[in-house]
Amino acid sequence: MLSLKNRSKLFLLMVLSIFISSCETNRDEVMALGKKTVMPDLTGKDVILLYSDSTILKIKLQTPQMQKYDKGAKEPVTIMPKGLFVTFYDNKGKENTTLKADYGVRYERSQKMEVKYNVEVVNVNGEKLNTEHLIWDEQKKKIISNAFVKITTAKEIIMGKGLEANQDFTQYEIKEITGSIRIDDNQL
């Protein structure tokens, strides 16, 4: 029979042997410990940004969540992971065009915004563009897409691949038209 002291030693030895045998080092996990976790430099919830020129409102951007990455980035970016809604205004400050999407990234240096997923642009004439991917070039004041696009006007629905348009979406060109449907007023 084992004494209480020997039982304690035996128990400790068993626990220690189980512990040692269960320890296994995963090289990938150890290597990952040395990598930096990139955290945003600035975050915000329910953000509204107003851009003006000579006291005239030009753009209003609304997003439920914004993350800005500046430090250590090749190009600082602002990410809107939960979507965005942008309103463009004309030279008189009147609402002109809207853009909405489920995800957006603004590249600060190149002054481009990339929007994805359920993208919709509506111009002052009520013409609507739907696509899954769009780039807004702020310097050139153009919107560009290489994805499938659908434009709905009062008289037709035009579908195609790729688009280039001015920023207010009043002039546009579909690169490859794949279909067009005329809308008869009597069908509505």
Task: For residue range 105-164, list pLDDT tens digits in order.
Answer: 999 889 999 999 999 999 999 999 999 999 999 899 899 999 999 999 888 889 999 999
- Do 146 and 174 form a contact (C-beta atoms < 8 A)? no
Q: Residue 158 maps to which CATH number?
A: 2.60.450.10
24 within a domain of the structure (yes/no): no
70 within a domain of the structure (yes/no): yes
- Do 104 and 83 form a contact (C-beta atoms < 8 A)? yes
- Domain extent for 58: 38-187
Q: pLDDT tens digits, residue range 36-84?
A: 666 767 788 999 989 888 888 888 999 999 999 887 668 888 999 999 9
The count of domains in the chain is 1
For the whole model, what pTM was predicted? 0.73
49 within a domain of the structure (yes/no): yes
* Listed residue (128, 122, 57) closest to 94, CA to CA: 57
23 within a domain of the structure (yes/no): no
> Distance (Å, rounded) from C-alpha 92 to C-alpha 94?
6
72 within a domain of the structure (yes/no): yes
80 within a domain of the structure (yes/no): yes
102 within a domain of the structure (yes/no): yes
Strands (E), the chain: 42-53, 56-69, 77-80, 84-89, 95-101, 103-107, 112-122, 128-137, 142-152, 156-166, 172-182
107 within a domain of the structure (yes/no): yes
> Distance (Å, rounded) from C-alpha 140 to C-alpha 154?
28
